[in-house]
């Protein structure tokens, strides 16, 4: 039994939260698609920083780009490298996209994290990436900030697929779901619109567990490791109310698809918790879990599959009520997590550009063929 494939029987799609050139070229991604039923890939600035900045896998492409245009900007150089990876992954997932009639098989590429509070800048970059990648199974990642929400609506109205990211709270989710409804309402072909709402999980426990450890309340220790899952279950319950209720009924009749909830940040940060906790406890229909490679392997080895998202809702609500009763403000905590998340993507993005600046100098000085030789070591 392949436990990852069994998840699809519960209606959940599995995406890989990772991308790197060798994964695309050595057949590993193709095997994950064919053997494990993987149906998507997500990327972010931190992933690209490790892939491009910390390896020589891209040195040949960097040299070629510099030889073609010595004046190319570092931002343009990054885009060239990232877009090639995204196109390769999209082509590998194209059969999934076609077999599902455009419901799955997506690859996500993020706009610059420095545009998180710039609606017009986000729209310009998102449109540029959409045109340049030129793949129907691309999703543009836009953060769920106050300024990102109107950009999401406009992009969906234009027919651009959107992955709305850095959501941590029910308020974040509500804003994103309503933006989807408004955007699809304006779209000329609502039946072709595709979007996921990326709800971050483990980081909630990381922060709330620290607050619980500082609390003198008798029941604080009982809530440790429970709030992220409770928060996610409430978001999924709201998803079901919206997309299986009257708010979506007319669009559904016109062929529009629900905006699936995607569980992000699902690797376990606390070594005291199960390494597959945020996969096992978030299994449900019409959802996606984007999983990093190690957690993917761990779940394939020993994960348990059951429809957990709709189970224990009363307990989840009680946990959230208990958290409020002991004076911990979850909304304030999740707003902080969104701000920190933007910083955590902005810093590696800047480090990546700095690494590319260094590489362009080093490769310009290196003898021709040195980069290719380095890749064979």
Residues 53, 326 contacting (CB under 8 angstroms): no
Partners of 262 in beta bridges: 198, 288
Mean pLDDT score, 38-44 = 97
d(CA 294, CA 102): 28
% pLDDT > 70, the chain: 97
Decide: 331 and 49 in contact? Cβ < 8 Å.
no
Q: Which residues contact 277 (CB under 8 A, 6 or more apart)?
A: 225, 229, 268
Looking at residue 369, its pLDDT comes to 53
CB of 96 closer than 8 Å to CB of 104: yes
pLDDT for residue 197:
98
**Are the C-beta atoms of 17 and 291 separated by less than 8 Å?**
yes
pTM above 0.85? yes
Assign 16 to helix, strand or coil. Answer: strand
Q: How far is CA 364 from CA 52, 59, 226, in A?
A: 17, 11, 52
List pLDDT tens digits, range 283-335. 999 999 999 999 999 999 999 999 999 999 999 999 999 999 999 999 999 99
Instruction: Give the active site residues.
Output: 141
Of 46-55, 174-183, 308-317, 368-377, the range with the lowest mean pLDDT is 368-377
Which residues, at least 6 apart from 318, have a Cβ–Cβ distance to it below 8 Å? none
Mean pLDDT of all residues in 233-249: 97
Arithmetic mean of pLDDT, 154-182: 98
- pLDDT at position 371 is 42
Q: How far is CA 90 from CA 33, 87, 107, in A?
A: 12, 5, 6
Q: Is 350 helix (H, G, I), strand (E, B) or coil?
A: helix
CATH of 3-366, one of 3.40.50.300, 3.20.20.70, 3.40.190.10, 3.30.420.250: 3.20.20.70
State pLDDT tens for residues 102-137.
999 999 999 999 999 999 999 999 999 999 999 999
Cβ atoms < 10 Å from Cβ of 212: 22
Tens of pLDDT along 332-363?
A: 999 999 999 999 899 999 999 999 999 988 88
Arithmetic mean of pLDDT, 181-206: 97
More confident residue, 358 or 369: 358
> Are residues 37 and 30 in contact, defined by beta-carbon separation less than 8 angstroms?
no
Average pLDDT value over all residues in the chain: 95
Residue 226 tokens read as 């429970």
- 160: which 2 tokens? 């651009």
Spatial neighbors of 335 by CB under 8 A, at least 6 apart, are 168, 169
If residue 238 lies in a helix (H) or strand (E), which one and from where to where? Answer: helix 227-243
The pLDDT value given to residue 165:
97
The two tokens of residue 203 are: 């980081």
The average pLDDT across 227-231 equals: 98
pLDDT value, residue 368: 52
Confidence band of 377 (pLDDT split at 50, 70, 90):
very low
At 264-281, the pLDDT tens digits run 999 999 999 999 999 999
Do residues 124 and 134 lie in contact, with contact meaning Cβ atoms separated by under 8 Å? Answer: no
Q: What is residue 366's predicted lDDT score, i.e. its pLDDT?
A: 67
Tell me what pLDDT residue 372 has: 44
């Amino acid at each position: 039994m392949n436990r990852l494939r069994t998840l699809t029987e519960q209606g959940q799609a599995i995406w890989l939260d990772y991308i790197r050139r060798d994964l695309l070229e050595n057949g590993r991604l193709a095997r994950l698609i064919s053997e494990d039923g993987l149906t998507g890939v997500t990327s972010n600035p931190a992933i690209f920083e490790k892939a491009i900045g910390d390896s020589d896998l891209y040195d040949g492409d960097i040299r070629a780009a510099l030889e073609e245009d010595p004046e190319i900007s570092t931002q343009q150089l990054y885009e060239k490298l990232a877009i090639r990876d995204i196109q390769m992954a999209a082509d590998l997932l194209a059969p999934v996209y076609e077999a599902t009639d455009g419901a799955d098989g997506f690859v996500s590429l993020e706009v610059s994290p420095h545009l998180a509070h710039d609606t017009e800048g986000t729209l310009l970059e998102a449109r540029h990436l959409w045109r340049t990648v030129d793949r129907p199974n691309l999703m543009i990642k836009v953060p769920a900030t106050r300024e990102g929400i109107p950009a999401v609506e406009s992009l969906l109205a234009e027919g651009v697929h959107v992955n709305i990211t850095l959501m941590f709270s029910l308020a974040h989710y509500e804003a994103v779901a309503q933006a989807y409804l408004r955007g699809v309402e304006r779209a000329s072909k609502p039946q072709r619109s595709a979007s996921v709402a990326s709800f971050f999980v483990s980081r909630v426990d990381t922060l709330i567990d620290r607050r619980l450890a500082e609390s003198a309340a008798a029941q604080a220790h009982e809530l440790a490791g429970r709030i992220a899952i409770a928060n996610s279950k409430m978001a999924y319950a709201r998803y079901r109310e919206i997309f299986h209720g009257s708010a979506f009924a007319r669009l559904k009749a016109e062929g529009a698809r629900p905006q699936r909830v995607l569980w992000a940040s699902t690797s376990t940060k606390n070594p005291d918790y199960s390494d597959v906790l945020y996969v096992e406890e978030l299994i449900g229909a019409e959802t996606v879990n984007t999983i990093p490679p190690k957690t993917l392997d761990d779940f394939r080895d020993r994960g348990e599959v059951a429809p957990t998202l709709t189970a224990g809702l009363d307990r989840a609500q009680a946990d959230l009520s208990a958290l409020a009763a002991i004076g911990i403000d979850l909304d304030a905590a999740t707003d902080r997590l969104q701000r920190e998340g933007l910083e955590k993507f902005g810093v590696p993005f800047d480090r990546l550009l700095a690494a590319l600046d260094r590489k362009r100098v080093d490769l310009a000085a290196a003898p021709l063929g040195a980069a290719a030789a380095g890749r064979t070591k």
